Homo-oligomer: A and B are copies of this chain.
Amino acid sequence: MRDFLPVAAQARNLLAPLVPGELDDERARRLYAVHTWSWLTEPGDGVAGRLVAALGHEAALNEVIAGGRDGVAKDAASIGEKEWADARARWLPRLDPDGVRQALEIARRAGLSLLTSEDAGWPAGLEDLGPHAPMLLWVRGDAGALTRTPRSVALVGARAATAYGEHVAIELAADLVAHGVSIVSGAAYGIDGAAHRAALAAGGTTVALLAGGVDRPYPTGHSQLIERVAATGAVVSEVPCGTAPTKWRFLARNRLIAALADATVVVEAGMRSGSLNTAGHAATLARPLGAVPGPVTSAASAGCHRLLREFDARCVTSADDVRELLGAEPQTLFDLAASGAHRTDDTTRVRDAMSFRSWRPTAEIARRSGLAPGDVTGILGLLALDGHVVGGGEGWRRTRHGGGG
């Protein structure tokens, strides 16, 4: 350990430009160990996660290097014999003191911030990932953007988006940021890019999660966009500077998008789109999941329809729907009163004949309203469509939802 970690003063010098607040020797050593862990492991390494949760980063690192002769490390984290051997076999070949140090120097030159779970600005949602939470986040731009707004939404989707999909992404992003919601996405071509751009154009906050190091904008065609995201928002990654984006890191990155956002909305996705993976993570994390429908004749919407069908995703057609997904006050989006087409005096009589608390059979409602049960059935059907009433085994009752009128 002493051979590997630098002395505290050196760690402090390397880390001071990267972190907010005071940096005493103890914190410097600890952060250096955190960084080292992010260097040793691939994103979401659960063994590493359990180990550092049990022992702390420094002691855990010590154990790994020492080989855990006394079994303290793996017992504390309930790590099996083989798992421990496998993990060490994964990690130790990456133990490269120069590389670890140089990554910090690159980060300093790039003007990055380092965010860890001990910072006030660490996004609470990441904790839901448990042992698969990131060790740290590298931020290009303003780390405060991650927690700047009370709510954030992940707008993700196909790289091979259609004009329709990009149009919807733009509409949603612009409306949401205008209502103080930040937009999280993956900086990819297609939907991701449209969402970031619209958020920026509307003067909102947007956060881009990258699969590789934040010093390596990817895709390179979006270098300028990523630069603009960093200028007012944040470009974020859990992997060290210089790390290339790989297929695995894209999948792992998707879990961060789902965990950072309060809700995930897939705008357009082919049947094999990576955004379905993000949606899967959102579902696993029990985060609200929405999908924008599109023509059934469009392959670019097939993945969204699959989410509606198989994943019980919420059908999102407007920013209002997204806000509802976020748990905002549900609005009476489709108040029949606005048209009056189906609303007659009979409707009022039916509602007057109903209770908010007791279930009443159709016959009783008909009796109380003085209408034929046949009429009452039809009116109840319309009221139910609007959420004004609800039917059950014992009859019908009024709901507070759908409200007054």
Contact = CB atoms under 8 A, between A and B. Distances in A.
Given A374-B42, A374-B44, A314 B318 contact: no
Nearest to A282: B381
A46 B294 contact: no
Interface string A330-346: 00001010010110000
A103 interface: no
Interface size on A, as a range, is: 35 or more
Nearest to A87: B372
Contacts of A43: 374
A378 to B, nearest CB: 5
A334 B315 contact: no
Contacts of A391: 284
A403 to B, nearest CB: 14
Contact of A305 (B47, B279, B315, B373): B315
A236 to B, nearest CB: 18
Nearest to A267: B296
Contact of A373 (B46, B293, B311, B382): B46
A372 B87 CA distance: 8
Contact of A132 (B283, B293, B318, B374): B374
A38 B276 CA distance: 54
Contact of A46 (B284, B296, B297, B377): B377
Number of copies: 2
A145 interface: no
Given A164-B295, A296-B317, A373-B132, A44 B341 contact: no
A112 interface: no
A277 B293 CA distance: 22
Interface in A300-330: 301-302, 305-306, 308-311, 314-318, 321
Contacts of A47: 372-373
Nearest to A385: B280
Contacts of A317: 296, 302, 305, 309
A90 B372 contact: yes
A366 B46 contact: yes
A272 B372 contact: no
A362 interface: yes
Q: Which among A45, A279, A281, A309 has the highest number of chain B CB atoms within 10 Å?
A: A309
Contacts of A50: 363
A370 interface: yes
B334 A372 contact: no
A297 B164 contact: yes
Interface of A: 42-47, 49-50, 78, 80, 82-83, 86-87, 90, 131-132, 164, 167-168, 248, 251-252, 255, 271-272, 276-277, 279-281, 283-284, 292-297, 301-302, 305-306, 308-311, 314-318, 321, 334, 336, 339, 341-342, 362-363, 366-367, 370, 372-378, 380-382, 384-385, 387, 391
17 contacts: A44-B378, A45-B374, A46-B377, A83-B366, A132-B374, A164-B295, A248-B375, A284-B380, A293-B305, A294-B294, A294-B296, A296-B317, A296-B318, A305-B317, A308-B315, A309-B321, A310-B387
